[in-house]
Amino acid sequence: ILGGGSNILFLNDFNGIILYPKIPGINICKEDRQYIWIEAGAGEVWDDLVKFCVDAGLGGLENLSDIPGSVGAAPVQNIGAYGQEAGNAIELVKGYDLVKKETAEFKNSDCEFEYRNSLFKRELKNRFVITSVVFRLDKFPEYNLSYGKVEETVKAMGEVNLQNIRKAVKNIRSSKLPNVNILGNAGSFFKNPVVKKEVAEKIQSVYSDIPVYQAGGGQVKIAAGWLIDKSGWRGRRSGNVGVYSQQALVLVNYGGATGEEIYNLSEEITRSVFEKFGISLEREVNCI
Protein backbone atom coordinates (compact mmCIF):
# COMPACT_ATOMS: atom_id res chain seq x y z
CA ILE A 1 0.00 0.00 0.00
CA LEU A 2 1.74 3.13 -1.25
CA GLY A 3 1.25 6.77 -0.31
CA GLY A 4 3.56 9.26 -1.98
CA GLY A 5 6.43 6.75 -1.98
CA SER A 6 8.81 9.35 -0.54
CA ASN A 7 9.75 7.24 2.47
CA ILE A 8 10.28 3.86 0.81
CA LEU A 9 13.49 2.20 -0.35
CA PHE A 10 13.12 -0.74 -2.72
CA LEU A 11 16.13 -3.04 -2.33
CA ASN A 12 15.21 -5.02 -5.44
CA ASP A 13 12.54 -5.07 -8.12
CA PHE A 14 9.14 -5.52 -6.44
CA ASN A 15 7.18 -8.58 -7.52
CA GLY A 16 3.65 -7.99 -6.34
CA ILE A 17 0.59 -5.74 -6.36
CA ILE A 18 0.81 -2.12 -5.24
CA LEU A 19 -2.31 -0.29 -4.01
CA TYR A 20 -2.06 3.45 -4.54
CA PRO A 21 -5.06 5.29 -3.02
CA LYS A 22 -5.83 8.53 -4.87
CA ILE A 23 -8.98 9.51 -2.96
CA PRO A 24 -9.34 13.33 -3.08
CA GLY A 25 -11.15 15.88 -0.99
CA ILE A 26 -10.67 18.31 1.91
CA ASN A 27 -13.94 19.03 3.72
CA ILE A 28 -15.06 20.60 6.99
CA CYS A 29 -16.97 18.06 9.10
CA LYS A 30 -18.03 20.14 12.09
CA GLU A 31 -16.88 22.91 14.39
CA ASP A 32 -17.36 24.40 17.83
CA ARG A 33 -16.04 27.52 19.52
CA GLN A 34 -12.50 26.16 19.81
CA TYR A 35 -11.98 23.59 17.05
CA ILE A 36 -12.77 22.69 13.45
CA TRP A 37 -12.76 19.08 12.27
CA ILE A 38 -11.52 18.53 8.71
CA GLU A 39 -11.67 15.27 6.74
CA ALA A 40 -9.04 14.81 4.03
CA GLY A 41 -8.91 12.05 1.43
CA ALA A 42 -5.95 9.67 1.57
CA GLY A 43 -4.80 10.75 -1.88
CA GLU A 44 -4.46 14.43 -1.04
CA VAL A 45 -0.92 15.81 -1.04
CA TRP A 46 0.07 16.33 2.59
CA ASP A 47 1.45 19.83 2.17
CA ASP A 48 -1.71 20.92 0.34
CA LEU A 49 -3.65 20.04 3.49
CA VAL A 50 -1.19 21.96 5.67
CA LYS A 51 -1.49 25.01 3.42
CA PHE A 52 -5.29 24.76 3.49
CA CYS A 53 -5.27 24.77 7.30
CA VAL A 54 -2.74 27.59 7.65
CA ASP A 55 -4.60 29.75 5.10
CA ALA A 56 -7.79 29.17 7.11
CA GLY A 57 -6.05 30.22 10.33
CA LEU A 58 -6.24 26.75 11.84
CA GLY A 59 -3.37 25.48 13.99
CA GLY A 60 -2.04 22.00 14.57
CA LEU A 61 -0.17 21.08 11.38
CA GLU A 62 1.89 24.18 10.52
CA ASN A 63 5.21 22.76 11.76
CA LEU A 64 4.68 19.81 9.41
CA SER A 65 4.93 22.01 6.31
CA ASP A 66 6.75 20.69 3.24
CA ILE A 67 6.85 17.06 4.40
CA PRO A 68 6.48 15.02 1.20
CA GLY A 69 3.85 12.33 0.77
CA SER A 70 0.10 11.90 1.03
CA VAL A 71 -2.48 12.38 3.76
CA GLY A 72 -3.10 8.63 3.93
CA ALA A 73 0.53 7.94 4.82
CA ALA A 74 0.63 10.50 7.65
CA PRO A 75 -0.99 8.28 10.33
CA VAL A 76 1.09 5.25 9.32
CA GLN A 77 4.41 6.94 10.04
CA ASN A 78 2.93 9.40 12.51
CA ILE A 79 4.92 12.00 10.63
CA GLY A 80 6.48 14.73 12.71
CA ALA A 81 8.83 17.68 12.61
CA TYR A 82 9.88 20.63 14.75
CA GLY A 83 7.92 19.59 17.83
CA GLN A 84 4.66 18.55 16.16
CA GLU A 85 3.32 15.14 15.16
CA ALA A 86 0.35 14.29 12.95
CA GLY A 87 -0.98 12.05 15.71
CA ASN A 88 -1.53 15.08 17.95
CA ALA A 89 -4.13 16.45 15.52
CA ILE A 90 -5.68 13.23 14.19
CA GLU A 91 -9.18 12.53 15.49
CA LEU A 92 -10.17 9.56 13.31
CA VAL A 93 -8.64 7.27 10.66
CA LYS A 94 -11.03 5.66 8.19
CA GLY A 95 -10.30 2.79 5.81
CA TYR A 96 -10.85 -0.74 4.59
CA ASP A 97 -9.57 -3.97 6.16
CA LEU A 98 -8.37 -6.28 3.37
CA VAL A 99 -8.52 -9.35 5.63
CA LYS A 100 -11.93 -8.81 7.21
CA LYS A 101 -13.17 -7.26 3.95
CA GLU A 102 -15.01 -4.47 5.71
CA THR A 103 -14.67 -0.77 6.42
CA ALA A 104 -13.40 0.35 9.81
CA GLU A 105 -12.66 3.50 11.78
CA PHE A 106 -9.98 4.06 14.40
CA LYS A 107 -10.19 6.77 17.04
CA ASN A 108 -6.96 8.50 17.99
CA SER A 109 -6.60 6.40 21.14
CA ASP A 110 -6.88 3.20 19.05
CA CYS A 111 -4.12 4.17 16.60
CA GLU A 112 -1.30 3.54 19.10
CA PHE A 113 0.64 6.57 17.92
CA GLU A 114 4.29 6.65 18.94
CA TYR A 115 7.41 8.38 17.65
CA ARG A 116 7.36 7.59 13.89
CA ASN A 117 5.15 4.59 14.54
CA SER A 118 1.54 3.46 14.77
CA LEU A 119 -0.80 0.47 14.63
CA PHE A 120 -0.92 0.90 10.84
CA LYS A 121 2.84 0.48 10.53
CA ARG A 122 2.87 -2.67 12.68
CA GLU A 123 -0.11 -5.02 13.08
CA LEU A 124 -2.13 -3.54 10.20
CA LYS A 125 0.76 -3.07 7.79
CA ASN A 126 -0.30 -3.90 4.20
CA ARG A 127 -3.69 -4.95 5.56
CA PHE A 128 -5.56 -1.72 6.24
CA VAL A 129 -6.10 0.72 3.35
CA ILE A 130 -6.58 4.21 4.73
CA THR A 131 -9.23 6.09 2.75
CA SER A 132 -9.45 9.33 4.73
CA VAL A 133 -8.28 11.02 7.92
CA VAL A 134 -10.19 13.40 10.19
CA PHE A 135 -8.12 16.12 11.88
CA ARG A 136 -9.06 18.39 14.78
CA LEU A 137 -7.58 21.86 14.21
CA ASP A 138 -7.43 24.73 16.68
CA LYS A 139 -9.02 28.11 15.92
CA PHE A 140 -6.90 29.72 18.66
CA PRO A 141 -3.64 27.76 18.53
CA GLU A 142 -0.69 27.92 20.87
CA TYR A 143 2.36 28.16 18.65
CA ASN A 144 5.12 25.58 19.00
CA LEU A 145 8.48 27.31 18.53
CA SER A 146 10.51 25.10 20.82
CA TYR A 147 12.38 23.02 18.24
CA GLY A 148 15.53 23.83 16.30
CA LYS A 149 15.79 27.22 14.66
CA VAL A 150 12.05 27.75 14.28
CA GLU A 151 11.69 30.46 16.96
CA GLU A 152 14.75 32.38 15.76
CA THR A 153 13.63 32.27 12.12
CA VAL A 154 10.02 33.24 12.87
CA LYS A 155 10.94 36.18 15.09
CA ALA A 156 13.28 37.49 12.41
CA MET A 157 10.21 37.70 10.16
CA GLY A 158 8.34 39.88 12.64
CA GLU A 159 4.92 38.73 13.82
CA VAL A 160 4.55 35.21 15.22
CA ASN A 161 1.66 33.65 13.31
CA LEU A 162 0.77 30.50 11.38
CA GLN A 163 1.87 31.90 8.02
CA ASN A 164 5.31 32.89 9.31
CA ILE A 165 5.77 29.58 11.11
CA ARG A 166 5.00 27.79 7.85
CA LYS A 167 7.43 30.02 5.94
CA ALA A 168 10.12 29.48 8.57
CA VAL A 169 9.75 25.70 8.50
CA LYS A 170 9.85 25.66 4.69
CA ASN A 171 13.00 27.82 4.71
CA ILE A 172 14.73 25.64 7.31
CA ARG A 173 13.82 22.43 5.49
CA SER A 174 15.03 23.75 2.13
CA SER A 175 18.36 24.77 3.68
CA LYS A 176 18.89 21.31 5.18
CA LEU A 177 17.44 18.97 2.56
CA PRO A 178 18.57 18.57 -1.05
CA ASN A 179 16.09 19.05 -3.88
CA VAL A 180 14.84 15.54 -4.63
CA ASN A 181 14.60 16.40 -8.34
CA ILE A 182 18.34 17.11 -8.40
CA LEU A 183 19.73 14.76 -5.76
CA GLY A 184 17.74 11.64 -4.90
CA ASN A 185 16.93 11.28 -1.19
CA ALA A 186 14.21 10.20 1.22
CA GLY A 187 14.71 13.00 3.73
CA SER A 188 15.65 11.86 7.23
CA PHE A 189 16.87 8.28 6.84
CA PHE A 190 17.11 7.46 10.56
CA LYS A 191 14.93 8.10 13.60
CA ASN A 192 16.29 10.19 16.44
CA PRO A 193 17.11 7.56 19.09
CA VAL A 194 15.27 7.71 22.41
CA VAL A 195 17.56 6.64 25.27
CA LYS A 196 17.73 6.72 29.06
CA LYS A 197 18.78 10.06 30.48
CA GLU A 198 21.91 8.48 31.97
CA VAL A 199 23.09 7.36 28.52
CA ALA A 200 22.82 10.90 27.16
CA GLU A 201 24.55 12.36 30.23
CA LYS A 202 27.49 10.01 29.73
CA ILE A 203 27.92 11.22 26.15
CA GLN A 204 27.34 14.81 27.27
CA SER A 205 30.29 14.57 29.66
CA VAL A 206 32.53 14.18 26.60
CA TYR A 207 30.55 16.15 23.99
CA SER A 208 28.90 19.18 25.58
CA ASP A 209 27.30 20.21 22.27
CA ILE A 210 25.13 17.09 21.90
CA PRO A 211 21.50 18.08 21.04
CA VAL A 212 19.18 16.46 23.60
CA TYR A 213 15.39 16.78 23.85
CA GLN A 214 13.09 15.60 26.63
CA ALA A 215 11.03 12.53 25.71
CA GLY A 216 9.30 11.84 29.03
CA GLY A 217 9.53 8.88 31.37
CA GLY A 218 13.15 9.54 32.26
CA GLN A 219 14.16 9.32 28.61
CA VAL A 220 15.57 11.81 26.14
CA LYS A 221 15.81 12.05 22.38
CA ILE A 222 19.23 12.53 20.76
CA ALA A 223 19.68 14.02 17.29
CA ALA A 224 20.66 11.14 15.01
CA GLY A 225 22.23 13.56 12.54
CA TRP A 226 24.62 14.76 15.24
CA LEU A 227 25.65 11.17 16.08
CA ILE A 228 26.30 10.43 12.40
CA ASP A 229 28.21 13.69 11.96
CA LYS A 230 30.43 13.02 15.00
CA SER A 231 31.10 9.54 13.64
CA GLY A 232 32.71 11.18 10.62
CA TRP A 233 30.07 10.53 7.96
CA ARG A 234 28.79 13.95 6.95
CA GLY A 235 29.77 14.72 3.37
CA ARG A 236 31.30 11.29 2.73
CA ARG A 237 30.65 9.56 -0.58
CA SER A 238 30.94 5.90 -1.56
CA GLY A 239 30.42 5.29 -5.26
CA ASN A 240 26.96 6.50 -6.26
CA VAL A 241 25.73 7.05 -2.70
CA GLY A 242 26.73 9.27 0.18
CA VAL A 243 25.81 11.37 3.21
CA TYR A 244 24.56 14.88 2.46
CA SER A 245 27.07 17.59 3.32
CA GLN A 246 24.45 19.92 4.84
CA GLN A 247 22.63 17.32 6.96
CA ALA A 248 24.16 14.02 8.04
CA LEU A 249 20.71 12.50 8.58
CA VAL A 250 20.11 12.46 4.82
CA LEU A 251 21.51 9.77 2.52
CA VAL A 252 21.71 10.73 -1.14
CA ASN A 253 21.78 9.00 -4.50
CA TYR A 254 24.22 10.77 -6.82
CA GLY A 255 22.72 8.91 -9.77
CA GLY A 256 22.54 5.27 -10.78
CA ALA A 257 22.66 3.84 -7.26
CA THR A 258 20.67 0.73 -6.38
CA GLY A 259 18.50 0.33 -3.30
CA GLU A 260 20.96 -2.23 -2.04
CA GLU A 261 23.84 0.29 -2.22
CA ILE A 262 21.89 2.80 -0.15
CA TYR A 263 20.89 0.11 2.35
CA ASN A 264 24.50 -1.07 2.71
CA LEU A 265 25.62 2.50 3.38
CA SER A 266 22.99 2.80 6.10
CA GLU A 267 24.29 -0.44 7.64
CA GLU A 268 27.85 0.93 7.71
CA ILE A 269 26.64 4.12 9.38
CA THR A 270 24.62 2.17 11.95
CA ARG A 271 27.64 0.04 12.88
CA SER A 272 29.91 3.07 13.08
CA VAL A 273 27.58 5.02 15.39
CA PHE A 274 27.12 1.99 17.66
CA GLU A 275 30.88 1.45 17.92
CA LYS A 276 31.46 5.10 18.87
CA PHE A 277 28.46 5.82 21.10
CA GLY A 278 26.87 2.46 21.95
CA ILE A 279 23.56 3.64 20.45
CA SER A 280 21.66 1.65 17.82
CA LEU A 281 20.10 3.76 15.08
CA GLU A 282 16.76 2.70 13.63
CA ARG A 283 15.80 3.50 10.04
CA GLU A 284 12.90 5.87 9.49
CA VAL A 285 12.74 4.85 5.83
CA ASN A 286 10.77 1.68 5.08
CA CYS A 287 12.97 -0.87 3.28
CA ILE A 288 11.21 -3.39 1.03
Give the active site residue among 39, 44, 62, 284: 284
d(CA 93, CA 74): 10
Give the active site residue among 62, 85, 116, 234: 116
- Cα–Cα distances (Å) from 158 to 61, 163, 165, in that order, read 21, 11, 11
- Cα–Cα distances (Å) from 225 to 54, 193, 285, in that order, read 29, 10, 15
Q: Which residues, in sequence order, are bridge partners of residue 212?
A: 222
Give the active site residue among 65, 70, 132, 188: 188
d(CA 29, CA 224): 39
Query: Catalytic residue at 236?
Result: no
Query: Catalytic residue at 284?
Result: yes
Residues 6+ positions from 109 with CB-CB distance below 8 Å: none
Nearest-CA neighbor of 88 among 144, 46, 48? 144
Contact 43, 21 (CB under 8 A): yes
Query: Catalytic residue at 188?
Result: yes
Catalytic residues: 116, 188, 284
